[in-house]
């Protein structure tokens, strides 16, 4: 059994960046799921043109804000994409962090 270090690095910046990474990963995962659901509804014709337009603007604004927050905390798309081992990356290729 490996031994834990006597002291855990609790540097404020590292903790803040780690927490931001975790929160932004969850937000990005939810954004992708909502976007996929919206696309399914659009393909089925369940939404009026006005609803489609409003959702498009909302998703674009959310993606822009996500990119701003990643920049603010010095995070990249790779920082948010958790490796799930044999299952592959959590976010896959859908998030490139470029806007």
Interval 9-49: pLDDT, tens? 677 778 888 899 899 999 988 988 999 999 999 999 999 99
pLDDT of residue 89: 75
In 3D, which of 15, 16, 17, 33 has the Cα closest to residue 90?
A: 33
Band of residue 6 on the pLDDT scale cut at 50, 70, 90: low
Q: How many CB atoms lie within 10 A of CB 81?
A: 21
Please report, for residues 6, 7, the alpha-carbon distance to residue 3 in angstroms, rounded to integers and kept in the order given.
9, 11
Beta bridge mates, 83 = 89
| 77 has a pLDDT exceeding 90 | no
Cα separation values, 15 from 24, 41, 66, 71, Å? 14, 39, 19, 17
pTM: 0.69
Where does the pLDDT of residue 80 fall: very low under 50, low under 70, confident under 90, or very high at 90 and above? confident
Residue 44, pLDDT score? 94
- The CA distance from 59 to 70, in Å, is 16
Q: What is the DSSP letter of 85?
A: G
Give 3-state DSSP helix, strand, coil % of the chain, rounded to 5. Answer: 65, 0, 30
């Amino acid at each position: 059994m490996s031994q834990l270090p006597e002291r855990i690095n609790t540097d404020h910046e590292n903790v803040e960046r780690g927490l931001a990474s975790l929160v932004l990963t969850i937000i990005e995962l939810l954004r992708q799921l909502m976007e996929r659901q919206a696309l399914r509804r659009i393909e089925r014709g369940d939404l009026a043109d006005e609803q489609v337009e409003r959702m498009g603007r909302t998703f674009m604004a959310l993606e822009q804000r996500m990119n701003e927050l990643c920049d603010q905390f010095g995070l990249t798309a790779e920082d948010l994409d958790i490796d799930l081992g044999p299952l592959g990356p959590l976010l896959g290729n859908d998030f490139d962090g470029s806007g």
